[in-house]
Amino acid sequence: MVRQYFIFGFLSLLAVVGCTEDPVDNAIIDDQAITGPSAPTPYALEVPAYFPAPIVDPENPITEEGIELGRHIFYDRDILSSDGSMSCASCHKQELAFTDGLNRSLGIRQLEGGRSAMSLVNLAFNPSGFNWDGSSPKLWEQAIHPVEDMLELDNDWAEVLRKLREHDDYPARFRAAFGIDRKEEITRELTVKAIAQFERTIISADSKFDRVVYQNTDFFTEAEQLGADSLFFVENVPPGTLHPGCGHCHNAPNFGDNKFKNNGIEDVASLDDFVDKGLGGVNGNRFDNGKFRTPTLRNIALTAPYMHDGRFKTLEEVLDHYASGGHNLENEDPNITGFTLTEREKEALLAFLNTLTDESLLTDERFSAPR
Amino acid sequence: MKYLLPLLLLFVLTACQDDDDPVSATEEVELSLDFRADYAGQPLAIQSGTYTYPTGARLKVLLFQYYISDLELLPVGGGEAVRLTDIDLIRWMSASEPATTTRSYRVPAGEYRGLRFGLGVKPELNARNPSEFAADYVLNEAEFWGPTTRYVFAKIEANADLENDNTFDTGLSYHLGTDALYTTVTFDQTFRVAEGSSPAITVAADVLRALSASGQTFDISNPDQRNVHGGNQEVGRDIWERLAGQFRLEIRE
């Protein structure tokens, strides 16, 4: 009996001792806390004098740390896609002016998405909605959907956040960028805002066109000059001239007015027959069916195939379309009228369009994958 | 004695205040100003409306916009005009939008004898490039022709059915503007602005009256008259003059 009491007493003591906190160290270990710098450094976008001032998003001010965090996430396959095979950069390749060369982007399942990947240059100057159809009013909102779209990265935001919070490096980067104290404060919104901060820094402004027109350090060839003067920038449009000049919608220096238009590429019987309704699919207005955002022509020689569905493989096909006119639908842009385009003019126009390529953009390490 | 100086000061200030001053220098109230687009006297329905043109054609209007510069209220008694805005772009481009768009301003309460604005971009702003402003400012590259022709003061775009075959296959695009066309529009109509009792004030513009008025109708069957862009403003001069002359100010107490 005594022996039983002894054993019971020993076990009780063991239990009590086992439950007692270490008397030497009373600190609570908080595995959610993030340490390190937490005061982000404001960043001013570098914009040439011939560009307008970039649009400020008061909900997402740009900081050095935010840009760097966004760049890391932009290129991080492990974090963004469910199988670790793709990131934003998979469809927005720097060497292709942040497009992918496909008519419709392929997601992790190798299935085609709905549209062609848009170039990401000069997004800081877009006053309209983002995406081809304007479905994202703000740039940072744009990055939400591709992560969870089964035809794109096919991931779950909860899973993305879990990986970010458990990562060795990202929590400190989030703290540096947004001043947060705890891992659980890493949210979807902060993640896409960081991506948007990086994207807003991608400014393309150093093409031959810029060097000739704005910097006065280069010269157009005869063909390039003819292309610019004959059809692109037509300031003095003679009466009866149907074509107002490509620059009518693709105005310099950004070469895309970001407005939503039916540019006449779709031959459908009525406004209700568009397979891809574009802006009309977003706002539910049938008169906006078939309208898509006018994209920039900067680096256009690198961003084939063309249009929202990549239907035109070459710039020649694009020019042929505009020269042939549209399909006479009631919401077609009235400036799609058809016009005569000689072979010489076409070659000249193509030569001019090639001057919009910004070679420095393609290798600029600020926009490349982090090492 | 110590109250003498403040009392004298108060007396001087009170004496300076003019009871008959029509515009209070201190009390500011909110004034809403409506801009309405019409076609033939009816609110314009972008794209969804089908309109008859005097030549028998039918129109779908896709875009109507114009710049206004130096929008000002004119105080009764000839005081200094109250500037509401230096520049604004009034635009209808979507079937989702109503025919009336509203702007709000803070203005001194008081009685006014009218309102005026410059139709177009005033010369000192027209001389400035889009690169001098933010990309989302009303003066931007999307409304800018180029270094010579500058900003597009007004746009009317439509698709016409000339053959009455229910196909709106003739594009009409009238882009107007140059310093020489800049026109001041003045309304002489009295109204009083006061806290909570300001009248409803509407600046109305009629697309049809810009194209056809006083027995003169712009001939859209002529291919040479379907597009006005950049330097060929002579073709559109009469459209501009009709546009500048047709604005109406509606005041409802």
Question: What is the pLDDT at residue B26?
Answer: 65
What's the structural domain count of chain A? 2
Q: Are residues A226 and A331 in the same domain?
A: yes
Of the candidates A149, A181, A203, which is a domain's last residue? A203
Residues 6+ apart with CB under 8 A from B151: B67, B121, B125, B126, B139, B143, B144, B145, B177
List of E strands, chain A: 260-261, 292-293
pLDDT score of A16: 39
In this structure, is residue A55 part of a structural domain?
no
Let me know if residue A47 belongs to a domain.
no
Whether A49 and B131 lie within 8 Å, measured CB to CB: yes
Q: Do A217 and A100 share a structural domain?
A: no
Range of the domain at B69: 27-252
For B152, the closest chain A residue by CA position comes to: A248
Q: Select from B246, B244, B65 the least CA-distant residue to B151.
A: B65
Q: Say if B149 falls within a structural domain.
A: yes
Measure A82 CA to nearest chain B CA, in Å: 37
Q: Is residue A318 part of a domain?
A: yes
A351 and A213 assigned to the same domain: yes
How close B226 gets to chain A, by Cα (Å)?
7
Residues A332 and A351 in one domain: yes
Determine contact, residues A75/A370, Cβ cutoff 8 Å: yes
Closest CA to A117 of A91, A137, A154: A91
Residue B78 gets which letter from DSSP? S
A19 assigned ligand-binding residue: no
Of the pLDDT bands very low, low, confident and very high (cuts 50, 70, 90), residue B7 is very low
Are A149 and A288 in a shared domain? no
**Are the Cβ atoms of A237 and B231 closer than 8 angstroms?**
yes
- The count of domains in chain B is 1
What is the Cα–Cα distance from B165 to B149, expressed in whole angstroms?
37
Residues found in chain A:
371
pLDDT number for residue B79: 87
| Chain A residue numbers touching B231 (CB-CB < 8 A) | 235-237
Known binding residue A308? Answer is no
Q: Supply the ipTM of this predicted assembly.
A: 0.87
Question: Mean pLDDT of all residues in chain B?
Answer: 90
CA atoms of B133 and A201, how far apart (whole Å): 19
Decide the pairing of beta strands B227-228 and B170-176: parallel
Q: Is residue A87 part of a domain?
A: yes
A126 and A222 together in one domain: no
Whether residues A192 and A216 fall in one domain: no
Cβ contact, residue pair B146, A233, below 8 Å: yes
CB atoms within 10 A of CB A226: 19
Residue identified by tokens 């009792």 is B197
**Contact flag B62-A124 (C-beta cutoff 8 Å):** no
* pLDDT, mean of residues B126-142: 97
Residue ranges in A185-296 assigned as alpha helix (H):
188-200, 208-209, 222-227, 279-283
Q: What is the DSSP letter of B92?
A: E
Q: Is B239 within a domain?
A: yes
* Residues A195, A222 within the same domain: no
**Residue A92 labelled as part of a binding site:** yes
Question: Does A243 count as an annotated binding residue?
Answer: no
- Residue A112: strand pairing partners: A106
Is there a domain that residue A17 lies in? no
The verdict on residue B242 lying in a domain is yes
| Whether residue A308 sits in one domain with residue A217 | yes
Is residue A187 domain-resident? yes
A192 and A257 share one domain: no
The reply to whether A182 and A300 lie within a common domain is no
A117 and A214 housed in the same domain: no
pLDDT confidence bin for B121, thresholds 50/70/90: very high
Kindly tell me the burial class for residue A340, based on how many C-beta atoms sit within 10 Å of its own C-beta (0-12, 13-18, 19 or more). exposed
Q: pLDDT > 90: what percent of chain B?
A: 77
B94 vs A contacts (CB less than 8 Å): 285, 288
Domain encompassing residue A245: 208-355
Q: Minimal Cα–Cα distance from B79 to chain A, Å? A: 37
Q: Specify the pLDDT at position B247.
A: 98
Tell me the pLDDT of chain A (371 aa) as tens digits. 434 444 444 444 344 334 444 444 555 667 889 999 999 999 999 899 999 999 999 999 999 999 999 999 999 999 999 999 999 999 999 999 999 999 999 999 999 999 999 999 999 999 999 999 999 999 999 999 999 999 999 999 999 999 999 999 999 999 999 999 999 999 999 999 999 999 999 999 999 999 999 999 999 999 999 999 878 887 666 666 656 689 989 999 999 999 999 999 999 999 999 999 999 999 999 999 999 999 999 999 999 999 999 999 999 999 999 999 999 999 999 999 888 889 999 999 999 999 999 999 999 999 999 98
Partner-chain contact B131 A287, CB within 8 Å: no
Residue A168 falls inside a structural domain: yes
Which residue blocks in A152-230 are alpha helix, DSSP H?
157-166, 170-178, 188-200, 208-209, 222-227
Task: Give yes or no for residue B159 having a pLDDT over 80.
Answer: yes
Q: In this structure, what CATH number is given to the domain that contains residue A177?
A: 1.10.760.10
Is A232 part of a structural domain of the chain? yes
Output the pLDDT for position B228: 87
- Decide if pLDDT at B22 tops 60: no
> Smallest CA–CA separation between A299 and chain B, in Å?
19
Sequence letter at residue A40: P
